[in-house]
Chains A and B, each alone.
Chain A
């Protein structure tokens, strides 16, 4: 029942309510109708009995003038009645017995002929079984003292009532399914605004924060839509604040950093030949560059989170992204005279990804390789696309991770402890978070020969 739709539920409830009301109503009206019918037929039966009594009385008067065998009357009446039996649909099988005041039978129909004569105790209505049939009988003694018993078969009466009930309920039986269909349609129509809302929510991209709108919100749906839109708006505002905060933080950190860098470089130029001062300034510059790198990494992490919260994946060309990242790292490549290569199995690899996270992951893995590779060393980036997997391999020929530290770094990385290992930590956090977002698997491997680090990333491909 849980999975039953609102429409089906309403339809079934409607039908159930109708059945619950209509069945007792039907039963009650059947009972009343058959009682009315019985009273009506009883009345008719009594009237017929009296008419018959009068008829026999007069015919006796006639026979008194012209006496004849009594049996002739009995035979004369009987066929007439028998002939009348079942000429009309609702004409019941009837019968009678007539006795003179002395209890001598005057006449009887064949169907009741062998019934024992009634006594005065039988006067009025009573039911009786005779010849395997139920009979409704009426006994009377008229003014002439004739004892008349007239009856009709009860089963015929029941046929009449049943027929009547059937006549009445047939339209209802045809009407009920029609009613059910109409209720279904009505409910469906009534639920249109709800369906409009659901289909709108269905069609949204999961990250969307556009307000929902339905043409005619009913009083029940309006608060729902308003609450939803309010939540969307709050989320949008929160994300917008976060975006602005990130941009502000970026600006607030980068601007003084730039100022310090430029001051330092001016100082280095001005210090000229002074070696002691020059080397101190150079150290300061190195530290400042490390600081700058950390800041960029922290900003990248913030961007990754903002991007993941704010939007669904976009179509991103991994090859183009890798080229952009390598271009940005050009100064480092030149500085260390690195032999850098990018090899791709396809000229473009479009996949659904979070661009900020993917860029940051590539940047950190490649930058790390460039930093750890020796001067004149090698960094190779390979992108291999399969039908449902993209593999990113970044190899350097640096010192790699010494065996005694490898386990620790691996463990930290895999367990996701966020404490930074020297120089590696923030970068790993970025790679780890970006990998999580893309359900990617990252392995740190050692090259088959020589030293170095091989970062192997397996990325499920979604388009």
Chain B
């Protein structure tokens, strides 16, 4: 697994470089937008961690250019800008995920795992959150290593939640995942599915934020 890190700040670059090496990734650390563009062009990276505030070029510009020329390498944007627009624009321009500084190593490692798995294709793709493990190809789910049998809807619901583990997923998103764009027959349908999932797994596996949505914690408490 080869990660290209593009970060002009010596301290932060060093910290991330070191931490990723510690986690047994092959890491190339670049400092400029020009180098980043080159690295994206020769497609040697499995994942690019891209800082937006580079000295020579704007990171978003490098990203947009790469996407225009058909380079599909997963890119995780790191930014110290707080404007929501930057976030939205980054995703629009083809970033696969974003992290806003300051972030924890734990968070970074989780995002990297998720992105690299996605990049490796469906064949051996699986998602993990806490003690939950889901094989997307075979639709098998295990909890504490024990296989769990889920209905199609329960699986669809859990998949969305696990793919965004650690983040709140809005009701609307979950309802769409369950029923497409059809209006649900029963407004409690989502609650019912969550209820069954909790019965089959464990109550604390799905955290409710009433009025907003549901969340599967990334790590078990």
Contacts and interface: CB of A to CB of B under 8 A. Distances in A.
Number of contact residues on A: which range applies? 35 or more
A245 to B, nearest CB: 14
A259 B168 contact: no
Nearest to B10: A259
A326 B214 CA distance: 12
Contacts of A263: 15, 18-19
A247 B212 CA distance: 30
Interface in A380-405: 381
Contacts of B9: 255-256, 259
Interface of A: 247, 250-251, 254-263, 265-266, 269-270, 292, 299, 303, 323, 326-327, 330-331, 333-335, 337, 339-344, 381
B11 A256 contact: yes
A335 B53 CA distance: 31
Nearest to B9: A255
Interface in B168-221: 168, 170, 204, 207-212, 215, 217, 221
B209 A340 contact: yes
B14 interface: yes
A262 B17 CA distance: 10
B117 interface: no
A132 B212 CA distance: 109
Nearest to A382: B211
B14 A259 contact: yes
A326 B105 contact: no
Given A250-B81, A266-B19, A261 B104 contact: yes
Q: Is the interface of B mostly helix, strand, loop or mixed?
A: mixed
Given A254-B101, A262-B16, A292-B102, A331 B166 contact: yes
- Specify which of B80, B166, B167 lies most central, judged by the most chain A CB atoms within 10 Å of its CB: B80
Given A333-B209, A342-B211, A342-B212, A258 B168 contact: no
Q: Is the interface of A mostly helix, strand, loop or mixed?
A: helix
Given A251-B53, A261-B105, A262-B16, A333 B207 contact: yes
B15 A259 contact: yes
Given A258-B102, A331-B166, A341 B16 contact: no
Interface of B: 9, 11-12, 14-16, 18-19, 22, 53, 80-82, 101-106, 108, 166-168, 170, 204, 207-212, 215, 217, 221
Contacts of A330: 166-168, 209, 215
A262 B11 CA distance: 10
Closest 7 CB pairs of A and B: A342-B211, A341-B210, A265-B105, A259-B11, A259-B12, A262-B15, A254-B101
Given A330-B215, A344-B211, A266 B166 contact: no
B80 A251 contact: yes
Contact of B209 (A247, A250, A341, A344): A341
A303 B84 CA distance: 13
Contacts of A250: 80-82
B168 A327 contact: yes
A343 B212 contact: no
A373 to B, nearest CB: 14
Nearest to B211: A342
B204 A262 contact: no
A326 B168 contact: yes
